[in-house]
Amino acid sequence: MHPILTLVAQRLALGVLLLFAASILIFAGTSILPGDVAQQILGQAATPEALENMRRELGLNEPPLTRYLSWLGGILQGDLGTALTNGLDIAESLGARLSNTLFLAFWAAVISVPLAIFLGLLAVRYKDRWPDKLISGVTLTTISIPEFMIGYVLVYWVSIQFGWFSSVAIINDSMTIWQKLNAIAIPVMVLTLVVLAHMMRMTRAAILNVMQSAYIETAELKGMPMLKIIRKHAFPNAIAPIVNVVMINLAYLVVGVVVVEVVFAYPGMGQYLVDHVAKRDIPVVQACGLIFAAVYIGLNLVADIVSILANPRLRHPK
């Protein structure tokens, strides 16, 4: 087998192993959560006998290992289980929610990734001058402020004071693409401001590291313009760490949207997860946690594989 295919297969096998370990941690963590879904369903006036019958009906009296193996077996067959509080199929309920979350993350990525790379290149071009200091200062300020605070500030100014966009990100299938974009405009702004600093500073650091190489000095001595040096020589050789940080932040855009979705009442997976955590609906929490883990591990695997393909030194570690 080709060495590259061997490395890719090893990374994929490691990803599957990590996902299996994540499933164990998710199941164990949700199993020890306080609260009783049977009590939540029947109410505070339920008798002990009714609670016991409900727990037996829901399978909550089974040993943890039996419940885990049953849950894992269902997942391997594409069955995420049934919500305990409403009896609906979790996979069907999550379908539209996951689509909404990916829609929000996609538009945030479309704006934040090119903008972060552009600002990183601009900061390198004007290193230690006022554009570099201004970009670094603004981005570090935004990443230091909690997401919900940025959201509330933007709602006050952008939605209430100027009336540009909706303060509540409610979308449905009957809306046009422009109506949906208007609804998610402020959440996209929040996510962009949150992930921008990390990607921008990693782009800046990676390119500055390459700029210290001998071939860059040679290009400078030949009189090549700085922008051309950065575009043709520095940026292509710094792409591996940039791809890594971009993928990590893309994973965050999918996994870390819980706070943003709750603030803006957005009908995504984060809001769905929070609703069912309050109801102590363990199967839903487990399914959401596993999907988030799969997305995070998957995007990190993509970053790892792209780095291997882009950097020959990673293919020959010796």
What pLDDT score was predicted for residue 38? Answer: 65
Looking at per-residue confidence, does 38 or 168 come out higher?
168
pLDDT for 137 beyond 80:
yes
Distance CA 230, CA 120 (A): 11
pLDDT value of residue 202:
80
Looking at the predicted structure, is the pLDDT value of residue 43 above 80? no
Instruction: Report domain extents, the chain.
Output: 92-277
Please determine, for residue 308, whether its predicted confidence score (pLDDT) is greater than 80.
no
Q: Which of 46-60, 67-81, 287-301 has the highest mean pLDDT?
A: 287-301
Where helices occur in the chain by DSSP H, the ranges are 3-31, 37-42, 48-58, 64-76, 90-125, 130-144, 147-154, 177-211, 214-221, 226-229, 235-237, 239-255, 258-263, 269-278, 282-310, 312-315
Task: Between 23 and 143, name the one with better pLDDT.
Answer: 23
Cβ proximity of 249 and 111 under 8 Å: no
DSSP 60: T
Q: Check residue 259 and give its pLDDT.
A: 80
Residue 46's pLDDT is what? 67
Residue 48 pLDDT: 72
pLDDT of 313: 60
% the chain with pLDDT above 70: 89
Average pLDDT value over all residues in the chain: 79
Identify the weakest region by mean pLDDT among 74-78, 109-113, 264-268, 277-281.
277-281
Mean pLDDT of 207-217: 76
pLDDT 10s digits, 72-102? 888 888 777 777 777 777 888 888 788 888 8
Mind listing the pLDDT tens digit for each residue in 141-192? 887 888 888 888 888 888 888 778 877 777 777 888 888 888 888 888 888 8
- Please report the pLDDT score of residue 35 as a whole number: 62
What is the rounded average pLDDT of the residues 203-220? 77
Question: What is the CB neighbour count within 10 angstroms for residue 118?
Answer: 12
The pLDDT-based confidence of 59 (bands split at 50, 70, 90) is low
On the question of pLDDT at 53 being above 80, the answer is no
Residue 278 binned pLDDT confidence (cut-offs 50, 70, 90): confident
pLDDT number for residue 169:
77
Does the pLDDT at position 316 exceed 70? no
Predicted confidence at residue 37, as pLDDT, reads: 63
Indicate yes or no: pTM above 0.85: no
Its CATH class, for the domain covering 92-277, is mainly alpha
Residue 206 has pLDDT above 70, yes or no: yes
Cα–Cα distance between 253 and 192 in angstroms, integer?
9
pLDDT at 103 over 60: yes
Residue 20: pLDDT over 70:
yes
Task: Tell me the mean pLDDT in the region 187-214.
Answer: 81
Structure confidence at residue 210 (pLDDT): 76
Average pLDDT, stretch 112-136?
83
In three-state form (DSSP H/G/I as H, E/B as E, the rest C), the secondary structure along 84-114 is: CCCCCEHHHHHHHHHHHHHHHHHHHHHHHHH
User: pLDDT confidence of 249, banded at 50, 70, 90?
Assistant: confident
